[in-house]
Homo-oligomer: A and B are copies of this chain.
């Protein structure tokens, strides 16, 4: 890839993320191109279909999330690593929310993509949460890789399903509860 092309590619993914965040997944290609400071044609050379751009942004998000997990494990204590990772995960899920409809379309066309990305996330989660569990910092009755199943949908789906909320919300709400004496 030529230097200028590479530069534009990165500029475009960044611009797309910002524009999607600001205007929703329905933001116009024109708007993304303008934000990136290039012509629409350039945008389309890199991303022939709108969906390709959405997908690129999403894959980039997943990659960043995985890197966060690696960095957290390398630089932080077990519990803070979990905190950092889950903060990042929520940020990731929130971003995904912006263009969920668009994403669904992409996944329908390429189910393998969905699987591949989910796997990457599950591995990252397991890395961070499993370590914390082995260190006794996280209750063992939570299946590490399963956390994404809980947090993800809560963050992205417009209507929490019953089954998921009965396992998730109590835990989250727990943080609000006054506790007798602990630490």
Contacts and interface: CB of A to CB of B under 8 A. Distances in A.
Contacts of A83: 169-170, 173
Given A175-B171, A182-B180, A24 B26 contact: yes
- Chain A interface size, under 10 / 10 to 19 / 20 to 34 / 35 or more: 35 or more
17 contacts: A20-B158, A23-B101, A26-B26, A87-B160, A87-B169, A91-B160, A94-B159, A98-B158, A138-B176, A139-B176, A139-B177, A139-B178, A171-B175, A173-B175, A175-B175, A179-B182, A180-B183
B94 A157 contact: yes
Contacts of A21: 158-159
Nearest to A133: B178
Number of copies of this protein chain within its complex: 4
Nearest to A79: B177
Contact of A174 (B100, B142, B160, B175): B175
Lowest 5 CB-CB distances: which A-B pairs, in order? A174-B175, A171-B175, A139-B178, A94-B158, A98-B158
A172 interface: yes
A90 interface: yes
A43 to B, nearest CB: 17
B169 A86 contact: yes
A124 interface: no
B180 A171 contact: no
